[in-house]
Chain A
Amino acid sequence: MENAMGVTLNEAEAEVVEAYRKLEAVLRDRADELPPFARRNAAKALAALWQVMNGLDMDPGQPYDLGV
């Protein structure tokens, strides 16, 4: 997996990126299926993982619409 600057991420970094993307997809498409505790804790986790995406230059955008 390459980041936006053309740098290849190592395996562990790539797995965190995948985790972010999965979490983002759940919050975007299926948040209504989550009870309050799961939804808000997932949002909090996404806010933390966003820092990893940003630090790895994966251009995570500004997902305020997901409550983060």
Chain B
Amino acid sequence: MSRKGAGMNDSPYWNPRHETLPRDQLDALQVRKLKRLVEWADAQVPWQANRLREAGVTADSINSLDDLRRAPFLTRDEWMAAQLEQPPFGPILAAAPERAVRYHMTSGTTGRTPIRVLDSLKDWEWIAEMWCYGLWGFGVRPSDTVFVAFGYSTFIGFWGLHYACEKLGCLTLPGGAMTTDQRVKQIVEMGATVVASTPTYALRMAQEARSLGIDLASSAVQRVILSGEPAGSIPATKRLIEEQWGAKAGDTAGMTELGTIMIFECSDQPGGTHIIEDHYIEEVVDPATDRPVPHGEMGERVVTSFGRGFIPVIRYRTRDFVVRVPGSTCSCGRTFDIYEGGIRGRVDDMKLVRGTNVYPRAVEAIVREHPEIDEFQIHLYTADGIRDEIEVLVEIPDQSADADALLSQIRKELAETHEGLRFGVKRAENESLPRFELKAKRVLDERIVIGGEGERRQ
């Protein structure tokens, strides 16, 4: 199936003026929008107004981006507590709930109470608008056929992408309520040129295609849009996806709290994701001291969103680790800064194993360097009732592979990158480890003792 383009100006940018604004003009735009946002929150959300006014923040007092730093951080715990106090949404809404047309909630990856959100017609259009920045920037055009491998539900996931594809004029295939083999077959049969999924599920579909005797690399798919997990910017995982699909893979990341994506990888693939800076102010702070960290240093994302008026978000602590670098490090011409390596992980993801910090992303970066491995799991347990241990279970479906040498190599690489920490690396039976459609949960922590000091967990 082929589709003609809509004949529109083929700018590489969705909003050329904003995406190439010089830094001083971008700052001025953000200050203007920040004033409006604070004015709106102050007038419409008494809960927010109290928090802002206690810190001495009013619209009149915002004259530069530095003035934002006087506003208090908003944490997820505060948001949840407010929601529990005044269910179901908390005192966060800036408009009457009757104005809403959509309800969504967080995926519950952390196992806590989900955050519930509402959107109006305008906000829902804006949510799609943010995805348009990412899709257009990665080269998706009206002539494309997009397959959305996503279980459409109250989890916001790829909903915004779906509506963005319609807005762009793409033929949009909603791949909900289908088995993996049905999805793979439809992608091929319909000649999809773009596929949207989590990185984990992109690999899962590739695996399924192999078992069906389908060569995805020779299919019509040219681009894979990734979201939902940090793995979209892990070089080894991304390379694996690109090889198995014979397509370019572009990372994006979003949050239910914002309703949509805030960063995207452009078609120049700079090894990171541009921040949509005309719609967000992103700060990077030291999670321990709350002080801003300079470009090039790892810190925690703090986001202020100008988009969803229904729920004003000001200085939200995301718990995401990022490294911000100037937009000029990319050749695409955007002035929007970049998160080098995308989302590097979450503050909460870190596991302390016998005194050494272990991040699942770092483990994945090593495991995915070995394409013989189909699936893996990080298992933490207590040995002898006193000692915490970590092992990585891997599936190696190719019977001709030298599994012992591979396990030994991975063991060595993991130890070298974790201060000599001893990892068990074991082969698991094929198809024995869990598979995931949305966000992968590859860490199984069954320890009753955490850390080297024998602190009891239970």
Whether chains A and B associate is yes
- Residue numbers of A with Cβ under 8 A of B are 4-5, 7, 43-44, 46-48, 50-51, 54-55, 57, 59, 62-64, 67-68
CB of B220 to closest CB in A, whole Å: 30
Would you call A68 and B32 a contact (CB within 8 A)?
A: no
B14, closest chain A residue (CB): A55
Q: Known contacts A7-B17, A51-B129, A67-B99: does B309 contact A62 (CB below 8 Å)?
A: yes
Complex contacts, B29 vs chain A, CB 8 Å: 5, 57
Bound-complex Cα distance A11 to B309 (A): 29
Complex contacts, A67 vs chain B, CB 8 Å: 99, 121
Would you call B120 and A68 a contact (CB within 8 A)?
A: yes
Q: Which of B1-33 contact A (CB under 8 A)?
A: 15, 17-18, 25, 28-29, 32
Bound-complex Cα distance A59 to B32 (A): 9
Would you call B125 and A62 a contact (CB within 8 A)?
A: no
Would you call A63 and B36 a contact (CB within 8 A)?
A: no
- B102 at interface by CB-CB < 8 Å: no
Complex A-B, nearest 3 residue pairs according to Cβ-Cβ distance, in ascending order: A47-B121, A64-B95, A62-B309
CB of B359 to closest CB in A, whole Å: 37
Known A5-B32, A62-B40, A64-B309; 18 more pairs at CB < 8 Å: A4-B32, A5-B25, A44-B121, A46-B122, A47-B121, A47-B122, A47-B124, A47-B125, A50-B125, A50-B126, A51-B129, A54-B126, A55-B18, A62-B95, A62-B122, A64-B95, A64-B99, A64-B122
Bound-complex Cα distance A38 to B299 (A): 50
Would you call B28 and A68 a contact (CB within 8 A)?
A: no
Bound-complex Cα distance A50 to B120 (A): 12
> Which listed residue, A5, A46, A55, touches B15 by the CB 8 Å rule?
A55
Write the B295-339 contact mask toward A (1 if CB under 8 angstroms, else 0): 000000000000001100000000000000000000000000000
- B74 at interface by CB-CB < 8 Å: no
Complex contacts, B433 vs chain A, CB 8 Å: none
Would you call A64 and B125 a contact (CB within 8 A)?
A: no
> Which listed residue, B94, B120, B126, B278, touches A51 by the CB 8 Å rule?
B126
B15, closest chain A residue (CB): A55
Complex contacts, B95 vs chain A, CB 8 Å: 62, 64
Complex contacts, B28 vs chain A, CB 8 Å: 5
CB of B40 to closest CB in A, whole Å: 6
CB of B64 to closest CB in A, whole Å: 16
Complex contacts, B40 vs chain A, CB 8 Å: 62
Q: Known contacts A5-B29, A5-B32, A68-B121: does B94 contact A62 (CB below 8 Å)?
A: yes
Would you call B25 and A48 a contact (CB within 8 A)?
A: no
